Amino acid sequence: MSHDDQAGNLRRLMSQARQTRTIAVTSGKGGVGKSNVSLNLAILLSAAGNRVALVDADLALANLDVLMDADVRWNLSHVVAGTRRLEEIVVNLPSGVQFVPGASGLAGLSDLSEFQRAKLLDDLGALEADNDIVIVDTGAGIGPDVLKFASCADTVLVVTAPEPTAITDGYALIKVLTQRDYRGQLSLLVNFAPDRHEARQAYQRISSVARQFLDARVLDAGYVLHDSKVRDAVRKREPFVLAFPRCPASRCVAALATKLCAGGALVERKEGFFRRVANWFA
Ligand SMILES: Nc1ncnc2c1ncn2[C@@H]1O[C@H](COP(=O)(O)OP(=O)(O)OP(=O)(O)O)[C@@H](O)[C@H]1O
Ligand SMILES: [Mg+2]
């Protein structure tokens, strides 16, 4: 075998071994804890030895950076404007997570010029290739960007609270994704759970209706307990898994991280996540 063939084989092996897993954290109703879950999950997945990138993909109202005391000078709006390269806006958090600060006030992917959008998604694709897991914190609701990010992800983690309004909106999101033929793993996480029992009830309500009316399988990602330490940590601008590693919410996110690592069956894909998002516009 020639040297070139060997190098080619090695590259192919490496790229197979390096398939990146993308997890879109999303919700029907706003304020149910997506950003807190995304950040703290990213930190624990990184602590478990994965190379993790965390992207604030709420293009209208990005605020993930508020949850940490990171030195965020630039964000995706600068990349879109062409004044900074993606590498320059990425913040290397002390936990090892590569954090991409989101833009506030960008109207949406479809409002970017074709050039801006292609460049942005290309750059994000390169970051994706350098990581094992990409966590995408989306905005709430069923807007076009949320649906594109979610449809393209290997796992969609739908976050809900146990209240009926949040459950209804979570179900609506699952319904739209199913109607769009979503092929990855749809999982439900119940945040603000008063206890295990209520979390279970909320999961069962959504999953049984999804099975009955949509013929969709919703996996049980577990729950995060309502925990006053979450608010304390937010006030201190510290991720709660670092500020209070043994608090109930931290233990729940640890269980979630373990579950996600264990259930990591990937859909075979020819292209990366951000490439798939870009294809929506082709
Ligand atoms: N398990 C929890 N226990 C107690 N408070 C929580 C919990 N999870 C989140 N919170 C609180 O709820 C608030 C909203 O959380 P977060 O910003 O993560 O939600 P979000 O879904 O990202 O919101 P948005 O839809 O606006 O992006 C936070 O200020 C946080 O303090
Ligand atoms: Mg948020």
What is the β-pairing status of strands 91-92 and 98-100?
antiparallel
Instruction: Measure Cα distances from 51 to 43, 47, 133, 226, 268 in Å.
Output: 10, 9, 6, 29, 20
Half-sphere exposure (Cβ direction) of 147: Cα atoms closer than 13 Å:
16
Half-sphere exposure (Cβ direction) of 8: Cα atoms closer than 13 Å:
5
pLDDT confidence bin for 20, thresholds 50/70/90? very high
Query: Tokens in use for 55?
Result: 């992207």
If you take atom 31 of ligand 1, which residue's CA is the nearest one?
231
Contacts of 237 (CB under 8 A, 6+ apart): 66, 67, 68, 69
User: What pLDDT is stored for residue 154 in this prediction?
Assistant: 93
* Residues lining ligand 1, Cβ inside 6 A: 27, 30-36, 58, 140, 191-192, 224, 226-227, 230-231, 234, 249
If you take atom 25 of ligand 1, which residue's CA is the nearest one?
30
Tens digit of pLDDT for each residue in 98-115?
A: 999 998 888 788 889 999
- Residue 113, domain extent: 20-279
Tens digit of pLDDT for each residue in 196-242?
A: 999 999 999 999 999 999 999 999 999 999 999 999 999 999 999 99
Residue 24 located in a structural domain? yes
Tens digit of pLDDT for each residue in 262-271?
A: 876 566 777 8
Cα torsion angle, 66, 112, 115, 133, sign: positive
pLDDT confidence bin for 16, thresholds 50/70/90? very low
Best of 196, 232, 234, 250 to mutate for ligand 1, by most ligand atoms within 8 A of CB?
234
Whole-angstrom distance, CA of residue 175 vs CA of residue 162: 18
In the reported structure, the alpha carbon of residue 123 is separated from the centroid of ligand 1 by a whole-number distance in angstroms of 29
Count of H-run helices and E-run strands, the chain: 12, 8
Give the sheet arrangement for strand 155-160, strand by strand.
Answer: 91-92, 98-100, 52-56, 133-140, 21-27, 155-160, 185-193, 219-225
Residues 186, 211: contact at Cβ < 8 Å? Answer: no
User: What pLDDT is stored for residue 9 in this prediction?
Assistant: 59
Residue 53's beta-bridge partner residues?
98, 134
Residue 21's beta-bridge partner residues?
133
Name the residue among 190, 212, 210 with its Cα closest to residue 201: 190
Number of domains in the chain: 1
Ligand sitting nearest the alpha carbon of 27: 1
Residue 2 located in a structural domain? no
Question: DSSP assignment, residue 64?
Answer: G
In the reported structure, the alpha carbon of residue 102 is separated from the centroid of ligand 1 by a whole-number distance in angstroms of 17
Whole-angstrom distance, CA of residue 193 vs CA of residue 32: 11
Instruction: Measure Cα distances from 202 to 96, 192, 223, 276 in Å.
Output: 34, 11, 10, 32
If you take atom 2 of ligand 1, which residue's CA is the nearest one?
226
If you take atom 16 of ligand 1, which residue's CA is the nearest one?
33
CATH code for the domain in which residue 34 is found: 3.40.50.300
Residue 156 located in a structural domain? yes
In the reported structure, the alpha carbon of residue 186 is separated from the centroid of ligand 1 by a whole-number distance in angstroms of 21
Question: Rounded mean pLDDT of 51-63?
Answer: 90
Name the residue among 188, 175, 151 with its Cα closest to residue 269: 151
Residue 6 located in a structural domain? no
Residues 36, 192: contact at Cβ < 8 Å? Answer: no
In the reported structure, the alpha carbon of residue 212 is separated from the centroid of ligand 2 by a whole-number distance in angstroms of 30
In the reported structure, the alpha carbon of residue 139 is separated from the centroid of ligand 1 by a whole-number distance in angstroms of 12
Residue 100 located in a structural domain? yes
End-to-end Cα, the chain, rounded Å: 39
Residue 238 located in a structural domain? yes
Instruction: Measure Cα distances from 108 to 32, 77, 105, 156, 185 in Å.
Output: 22, 11, 9, 20, 25
Nearest atom of ligand 1 to the alpha carbon of 31: 23
In the reported structure, the alpha carbon of residue 151 is separated from the centroid of ligand 2 by a whole-number distance in angstroms of 19
Residue 167 located in a structural domain? yes
Residue 7 located in a structural domain? no
